[in-house]
Structure 1
Amino acid sequence: MEMIRRFHTKNGTAYAEHGTGEPLVVIHGVGMRLEAWAPQMAVLGRSHRVIAVDMPGHGESRPLPQEARLEVFVDWLGLFLDDLELERANVAGHSMGALIAAGAAATFGERVSRVALLNAVYRRDAAASAAVIERAREIRAGQVDVDGPLLRWFGADCRESDVYRLTRRWLSSVDRAGYATAYAAFASGDSTYADCWPNVGCPALFLTGADDPNSTPAMARAMADAAPCGHAALIEGHRHMVNLTAPDEVNAILLEWLAKPEEMK
């Protein structure tokens, strides 16, 4: 997959876009880059203006302060919408990007036409929370494990796939400081906006891999049940990187979500 041409906002966010029409802003996960959305840009860009962003400290985007929590990443997204003069947009996020998308729906929902969370975490149990917080501490200390996350994301039988190799290359080359900041916000952010869903009236999609051990089907269903216009979708036989490992299925589900009428608040 070739690097996609980027543009830069006046506030230092790198982004790429494809297509015209109703805007769809897509946000990748920790350790990745906007190219992770290439399969969605190619297809959804036929009917929408798809805008993929490099999360702060990733790709070519300016980092946030080291202590930035999830709320600061949500503020960053709001500023990005301002920079592109987008009064309203559809917002989709994957993993950490999903937490940012949830924060957008919770804090400036009047600007969010529809929201989609792919492989999102939601109210981790005590053991999962302790594990991810410990990983955040290790990353901050410079102990970066590349293969551990990939094993959770793909499973052991996918190591020879092109997508696995591509994702490994992105994770291996990520800026370590930016990665540490984002991962710390990810580790502590699963409950930050967890109570927002009863108040989110727009079409809300919660999609995950049926075999994802961390962003579980139970989490997706719980969020969908809490949102007035929520819908859970599972991709059988896939784990965490569903937008790359099952792009056709994901694109079809996203197109169906984008076709739903907006629910105005």
Structure 2
Amino acid sequence: MMADLARTDVSVPEGHLAVWSNHRPGRPLVLLHGGGLDHRMWEQQVTAFADTQRVVLVDARGHGESSTATAAYRHCDDLAAVFHALDLGPATVVGLSMGGGTAVDLALEHPDLVAGLVVSGVGTSEPTFTDPWVLDAFAEWKAAEETRDAQRWLDAFMRFLPGPRRTLDDVDPNVAEAVRRMGWDTLQHHAVRSFVPPTPVTRTWERVPSIEVPVVVVSGVLDSPDHVGMGHRLADSVPDGRTVDIEGTAHYPNLEEPAAFNDAVALVASRAA
């Protein structure tokens, strides 16, 4: 199914975004990958939805086949450029982790483009972490970046797949290999010293009550308490929010439990249609 999607490059200031889509009529379903990953993480969702509706996959700047950032930008503004270039109109936007933060930012900064949200593994793009396991994982990740130790970076990155209560041995090896491959490709293509991080969107938690579209927050039960807690907080903070907690998975429920994840997506997509 992924091979049936057409590739388009959308120009953004000082770069481009790689976008894949089909040409089904109706409300678009836009899928935003997590940090360090790329559009390939959505293969199971493309298989589930591409026969019945328009599906759009976007590689964020600094990921996949999009350009590496060399000037100031915001992910949500890049995404708005994709909407305008492809004439997407209001869409159901699905985002995981970094992509979930971007989805919420889009609803705050460009609300006319969003008909519904599915957010997983995050609350907003302004996370707060207090759990010792998360703090240790991020500290290891940062140390690897500072020493430019690629293997150490990848090992730290992979900790989020099983989460704090499992090891990689507990994860389907095909899923682990897919995540590892995407993380490695991110390093190989975008880990340059001139990389510019995105400009943050601010006051997100203060403003999320203004989001009027349906919001479903999907959490892997085995994810860290911080990630699950921020997701639940988002659902509680919007007028039309609900939570879906999925057993047997941590930070990447779309990869480990795709059927349950797809059910949550369909719930929002049907209401946004």
- The change in CA–CA distance for 1:133 and 1:196 in structure 2 (over 3 A counts) is farther
- Taking a change above 3 Å as real, the CA distance of residues 217 and 137 of structure 1, as seen in their structure-2 partners, is same
Q: What's the CA shift for 1:34?
A: 0.4
Whether 1:15 and 2:19 are equivalent positions in the alignment is yes
1:124 pairs, out of 117, 121, 128, with 128
| Structure 1 contact 208–215 (Cα < 8 Å) conserved | no
| Structure 1 counterpart SS, 2:117 | strand
Q: Does 1:98 align with 2:97?
A: no
Helix, strand or coil for the counterpart of 1:31?
coil
Local SS of the residue matching 1:195:
helix
Q: Which amino acid aligns with 1:169?
A: R
Q: What code does the residue aligned with 2:20 have?
A: A
- How big is each residue's C-alpha offset from its partner over 1:171-220, in whole Å with a ceiling of 9 and x where there is no partner? 112145735799955xx969752222210000011111011016532222
Please report how far the alpha carbon of residue 163 of structure 1 lies from its aligned counterpart in structure 2 after TM superposition.
Answer: 0.8
In 2, Cα distance between equivalents of 1:8 and 1:261: 27
Task: For structure 1, list consecutive stretches of 5 or more residues without a partner in the other structure.
Answer: none
1:215–1:240 CA contact under 8 A, matched in 2? no
Instruction: Give the equivalent residue in structure 2 for 1:26.
Output: 31
Matched, 1:200 2:211: yes
The AA in structure 2 aligned to 1:82 is H
Please state if 1:162 is matched with 2:164: no
1:24 shift after superposition: 1.1
Are 2:52 and 1:42 aligned? no
**Which aligned runs of 4 or more in structure 1 are off by greater than 4 angstroms?**
1-5, 126-131, 179-185, 188-192
Which of 246, 252, 255 pairs up with 2:263?
A: 252
| Count of equivalent residues | 257
* Equivalent-residue separation in structure 2 for 1:161 and 1:250 (angstroms): 19
Per the normalisation by structure 1, the TM-score is 0.84
Determine if contact 1:136/1:184 at 8 Å carries over to the other structure.
no
In structure 2, stretches of 5+ residues that fail to align are none
The answer as to whether partners of 1:30 and 1:183 remain within 8 angstroms in 2 is no
Identity %: 23
Q: Deviations over 1:27-62 (max 9, x none)?
A: 101111101111101112232201011111211112
**What does 1:108-257 correspond to in 2, within 5 Å?**
108-122=110-124, 123-126=127-130, 128=134, 132=138, 135-136=141-142, 138-139=144-145, 141-144=147-150, 145-154=153-162, 155-156=166-167, 157-158=169-170, 161-175=173-187, 178=190, 185=198, 193-213=204-224, 216-257=227-268
- 1:133-188 Cα offsets, whole Å, 9 max, x none, are 77346425523421222122123133561110111111112145735799955xx9
Tell me, in whole angstroms, the C-alpha distance in 2 between the residues paired with 1:179 and 1:5. 27
